Amino acid sequence: INLQSTTMKRVILFVAACALGFSCSQPQSLQDRLTIHDKEINEIIAQMTLEEKVEMMHSKTIMSSEGVPRLGIQDIKYADGPFGVREEVADGFRPKGWSLDSATYFPTGSALAATWSPELAYDYGNGIGVEARLRGKDIMLGPAINIQRLPVGGRTYEYFSEDPILAAALAVQYTLGMQDAGTAACVKHYALNNQETNRGTVNVIVDERTMREIYLKPFEAAIKEGGAMCVMPAYNKVNGFYCSENAHLNNEILRDEWGFKGMTVSDWGGTHSTMGAALGGLCVQMTGDNYFGQALIDSVRNGALDEAVVDAKVREILRLRFAIEPVPEDVANTIMTSQPETQKIAYEIAQKSIVLLKNEAGNLPIAKDVKKIAVIGQNAVLTTAAGGIGEGVKTLYEISPLEGIQARAEKAGVEVVYAPGYKNYQMRMGWGRPSAGPVNPLVANSIDEPADPALLAEAVALAKDADMVIFFGGTNKSIETEGSDRKNIDLPCGQNEVIKALYEANPNVATVLISGGPTDLRYLAPYSPAIVQGWWNGLEGGTALAEVLFGDIAPSGKLPFTFPLKLEDSPAYATGSFPGEGSGEDLFTLMYRLDATGYTREQIQEYIASLPDPVSEYREGILVGYRWFDTKDVPVMYAFGHGLSYVDFEYGALTCKQKKDKIQVSFDLKNLGNMEADEVAQLYVKRLDSKVERAEKELEAFERVALKAGETKNVTLEFPVSELAHWDNETNGWVLEPGKIEILVGSASNDIRQSIHTE
Ligand code: BGC
pLDDT (tens digit per residue) in 487-505: 999 999 999 999 999 999 9
Q: Which residue CA neighbors atom 2 of ligand 1 most closely?
A: 267
pLDDT digits (tens, 9 = 90+) for 173-199: 999 999 999 999 999 999 999 999 999
Q: Grade residue 596 by pLDDT with cuts at 50, 70 and 90.
A: low
Q: Residue 21: is its pLDDT beyond 50?
A: no
Q: If you average pLDDT over every residue of the chain, what do you get? A: 93
Nearest Cα neighbor of 561 from 165, 106, 156 is 156
CA of 268 to the centre of ligand 1 (A): 6
Q: What is the pLDDT of residue 452?
A: 96
CA of 259 to the centre of ligand 1 (A): 25
Taking residue 47's Cβ as centre, other Cβ atoms within 10 Å add up to 10
CA of 234 to the centre of ligand 1 (A): 9
Q: Is residue 211 within 8 Å of residue 192, measured between CB atoms?
A: yes
Q: What is the pLDDT of residue 22?
A: 46
| First-to-final CA distance of the chain | 54
Q: Residue 75: is its pLDDT beyond 70?
A: yes
Q: Is residue 484 within 8 Å of residue 196, measured between CB atoms?
A: yes
Q: Grade residue 603 by pLDDT with cuts at 50, 70 and 90.
A: confident
Angle between helices 340-353 and 541-549 (to 10 degrees): 40
Separation between Cα atoms, residue 562 and residue 628, nearest integer Å:
10
Separation between Cα atoms, residue 259 and residue 244, nearest integer Å:
18
Separation between Cα atoms, residue 60 and residue 402, nearest integer Å:
43
Across 249-259, average pLDDT: 98
Pocket flag, ligand 1, residue 200 (CB < 6 Å): no
CA of 332 to the centre of ligand 1 (A): 23
Counting ligand 1 atoms within 8 A of each CB, the residue from 159, 198, 232, 267 with the most, and so the one to mutate, is 267
Q: Which residues have a Cβ under 8 Å from the Cβ of 546 and sit 6 or more positions away?
A: 401, 404, 405, 407, 408, 409
Nearest Cα neighbor of 593 from 382, 427, 395 is 427
Pocket flag, ligand 1, residue 155 (CB < 6 Å): no
DSSP assignment letter at 250: I
Counting ligand 1 atoms within 8 A of each CB, the residue from 64, 86, 141 with the most, and so the one to mutate, is 141
Ligand 1 atom showing the smallest separation from residue 93 Cα? 12
Q: What is the pLDDT of residue 448?
A: 92
Pocket flag, ligand 1, residue 139 (CB < 6 Å): no
Pocket flag, ligand 1, residue 268 (CB < 6 Å): yes
CA of 16 to the centre of ligand 1 (A): 29
Q: Grade residue 602 by pLDDT with cuts at 50, 70 and 90.
A: confident
Pocket flag, ligand 1, residue 403 (CB < 6 Å): no
Amino acid letter, residue 590:
L
Q: Grade residue 759 by pLDDT with cuts at 50, 70 and 90.
A: low
Q: What is the pLDDT of residue 600?
A: 80
Q: Which residues have a Cβ under 8 Å from the Cβ of 605 and sit 6 or more positions away?
A: 591
Q: Where are the beta strands (DSSP E) in 377-444?
A: 415-419, 424-425, 443-444
Pocket flag, ligand 1, residue 77 (CB < 6 Å): no
Pocket flag, ligand 1, residue 471 (CB < 6 Å): no
Q: Residue 436: is its pLDDT beyond 60?
A: no
Across 67-82, average pLDDT: 97
pLDDT digits (tens, 9 = 90+) for 310-357: 999 999 999 999 999 999 999 999 999 999 999 999 999 999 999 999
Beta bridge partners of 513: 473, 533
pLDDT digits (tens, 9 = 90+) for 681-719: 999 999 999 999 999 999 999 999 999 999 999 999 999
Q: What is the pLDDT of residue 108?
A: 97
Write out the DSSP string of 138-202: SEEE--B------TT-TTTTTS--SSHHHHHHHHHHHHHHHHHTT-EEEEEEETT----TTTTT-
CA of 81 to the centre of ligand 1 (A): 9
Q: Residue 734: is its pLDDT beyond 90?
A: yes
Counting ligand 1 atoms within 8 A of each CB, the residue from 268, 394, 485 with the most, and so the one to mutate, is 268
Taking residue 709's Cβ as centre, other Cβ atoms within 10 Å add up to 12
Write out the DSSP string of 324-354: SPPPPTTTTTSS-S--HHHHHHHHHHHHHH-
Q: What is the pLDDT of residue 271?
A: 97
Q: Which residues have a Cβ under 8 Å from the Cβ of 422 and sit 6 or more positions away?
A: 377, 378, 444, 451, 452, 455, 456, 493, 494, 495, 498
Q: Which residue CA neighbors atom 12 of ligand 1 most closely?
A: 390
Residue of 267, 452, 490, 630 with catalytic role: 267
CA of 624 to the centre of ligand 1 (A): 25
Separation between Cα atoms, residue 642 and residue 158, nearest integer Å:
20
pLDDT digits (tens, 9 = 90+) for 502-533: 999 999 999 999 999 999 999 999 999 999 99
Taking residue 749's Cβ as centre, other Cβ atoms within 10 Å add up to 27
Q: What is the pLDDT of residue 36?
A: 97
Q: Which residues have a Cβ under 8 Å from the Cβ of 232 and sit 6 or more positions away?
A: 141, 186, 187, 188, 189, 190, 264, 265, 266, 267
Ligand 1 atom showing the smallest separation from residue 81 Cα? 10
Across 198-211, average pLDDT: 95
Separation between Cα atoms, residue 548 and residue 554, nearest integer Å:
6
Across 729-741, average pLDDT: 95
CA of 192 to the centre of ligand 1 (A): 15
Q: Is residue 187 within 8 Å of residue 175, measured between CB atoms?
A: yes
Ligand 1 atom showing the smallest separation from residue 588 Cα? 7
CA of 622 to the centre of ligand 1 (A): 27
Work out whether strand 751-758 and strand 741-748 pair parallel, antiparallel, or are unpaired: antiparallel
> For residues 110, 112, 117 and 118, what is the CA-based torsion angle, rounded to 10 degrees?
-100
Q: Grade residue 440 by pLDDT with cuts at 50, 70 and 90.
A: confident
Neighbour-count burial of 407, counting CB atoms closer than 10 A to its CB (0-12 exposed, 13-18 middle, 19+ buried)? middle
Across 536-558, average pLDDT: 98
Work out whether strand 662-671 and strand 649-651 pair parallel, antiparallel, or are unpaired: antiparallel
Q: What is the pLDDT of residue 20?
A: 46
Separation between Cα atoms, residue 216 and residue 220, nearest integer Å:
6
Report CA torsion sign: 478, 527, 448, 628: negative
Q: Residue 244: is its pLDDT beyond 80?
A: yes
| Least confident among 209-223, 236-250, 376-390 | 376-390
Pocket flag, ligand 1, residue 158 (CB < 6 Å): no
Ligand 1 atom showing the smallest separation from residue 144 Cα? 9
- Helices in 390-446 by DSSP H: which ranges? 401-412
Q: Which residue CA neighbors atom 4 of ligand 1 most closely?
A: 268
Amino acid letter, residue 499:
I
Nearest 5 degrees, angle CA 391-CA 397-CA 400? 85
Counting ligand 1 atoms within 8 A of each CB, the residue from 62, 187, 482, 586 with the most, and so the one to mutate, is 482
CA of 628 to the centre of ligand 1 (A): 30
Q: Residue 229: is its pLDDT beyond 90?
A: yes
Please say if 613 is a catalytic residue.
no
Beta bridge partners of 230: 186, 263
- Helices in 441-492 by DSSP H: which ranges? 453-464
Counting ligand 1 atoms within 8 A of each CB, the residue from 80, 87, 198, 393 with the most, and so the one to mutate, is 80
> 265: helix, coil or strand?
strand
Q: Could you tell me how many helices (H) and strands (E) the chain has, helices first?
A: 23, 33
Separation between Cα atoms, residue 548 and residue 552, nearest integer Å:
6
Q: Which residue CA neighbors atom 11 of ligand 1 most closely?
A: 268
Pocket flag, ligand 1, residue 391 (CB < 6 Å): no
